Structure 1
Amino acid sequence: MKVVVAYDGSKHAHKAIDQLQILNGPLDAVIVSVVRGPALGIRGTAVEVDQAEIDHARAALDKVAAELAARGVTARTRLAMGEPADVVVDIAEEEKAELIILGTRGLSLAKRIVMGSVSSNVLHHAPCAVLVVR
């Protein structure tokens, strides 16, 4: 089964990673971390992403891949930039994923309206089944 797991290093993302252990059969897992950006500044010029954010995301991916390998789960990692929901959906399409797994932070209705919800957006635009973990 081809699975894409969205990973940002949070405890909710770790719960999503843990779901790989309960899936049956051979897995082709891709762990995806998305750094928001690049963004447009107030004058419409591109604002670069902080290299420290990229380095932190890469280190988190490397760490979780090593943790999975220690549990006998092989996974590829992908680091991307952009809007997290869009990137996860795009990668799932590219990878021809059968399942996307991601955590949710459980935002209140007000925060979801203002900030949006990555899990909600993925759920509504995914090309495959989606498992949202609390």
Structure 2
Amino acid sequence: MSEATPAAKNTVMIAMDGSEHSFYAFDWYMDFLNKPGDHLLVVHCPDYKSLLRTPVMSTDGSVVSHMVQQSEEEVNRIVIQIKDRLRKSGVSARLMRLTGDAGHAIVKAADENKANLIITGSRGLGTVRRTLVGSVSNYVLHHAHCPVLVCQRKHHDHKSS
């Protein structure tokens, strides 16, 4: 007669960018996959690429400084929203702020933290936009060394019956 072996603890990483899609992915994990003993990592990688794409028509350093400050304030608002969601869920999680290209940073952090699963939302970018700007979830899906769950939100049809 063999003894029951305790369930292995999973390390689950949820990538959250502050969008409703990432919060949906978090809620989906909580509703369907969360198990006692899971080690949950919530990662956020700010997108500073928009700063690089914005043409600066001034040699005044204060203009650039102001743009960076605004971006940092937005990142802080997102982090507060994520922390609030974690607090309300009652789950214990480690929040990690990553830097660099989001897709690469998420895959690297998953490897370093030995994640068994990465969960990310899908923004549902169209084919053209996804081709031009890329997709973080697509990058993670094709480069991660563990399973990846991309949570696609259901689109509600508001047609009258």
TM-score bracket for this pair, using the shorter chain length: 0.7 to 0.9
Q: Distance in 2 between matches of 1:61 and 1:79?
A: 9
**Which letter does structure 1 place at the counterpart of 2:151?**
V
1:107: how far off? Answer: 1.1
Q: Choose the corresponding residue for 2:27, options 5, 12, 18.
A: 18
Please name the residue that 1:108 is paired with: 126
Where structure 1 has 5 or more consecutive residues not aligned to the other structure, the ranges are none
For residue 61 of structure 1, report the CA deviation from its aligned partner: 2.3
Aligned equivalents of 1:51, 1:32: Cα separation in 2: 21
2:16–2:43 contact (8 Å) kept in structure 1: yes
1:93 equivalent in alignment to 2:111? yes
Cα 1:70–1:36 shift into 2, 3 Å = closer
Corresponding position: 1:28 with 2:39: yes
Task: Report the equivalent of 1:56.
Answer: 74
Q: Which runs of 5+ in 2 are unaligned?
A: 1-9, 56-63, 153-161
Contact 2:98 2:106 (C-alpha < 8 Å) held by counterparts: no
Tell me the secondary structure at the aligned position of residue 50 of structure 1.
Answer: helix
Q: Kindly provide the CA deviation profile for residues 32-87 of structure 1, in whole angstroms up to 9, marking residues without a partner as x.
A: 11123488799xxxx99824323422332233223222222111111122111001
Whole-angstrom distance in 2 between the partners of 1:60 and 1:54: 10
CA distance in 2 between partners of 1:84 and 1:19 (Å): 21
Select the structure of larger CA radius of gyration.
Answer: 2
Contact 2:45–2:98 (8 Å) recurs in 1: yes
The one-letter code matched in structure 1 to 2:44 is S
* 1:73-119 alpha-carbon deviations (Å, 9 max, x no partner): 11111112211100110110111000101011111111121111111
Give the secondary structure class of the aligned counterpart of 1:86: helix
- Structure 1 or 2: more strand by fraction: 1
TM-score between both structures, scaled by the size of structure 2? 0.71
Matched to 1:2, the amino acid is T
SS at match of 1:102: strand
Corresponding position of 1:80: 98
Kindly, what percent of the aligned residue pairs are identical?
Answer: 35
Report the TM-score when normalising by structure 1: 0.83
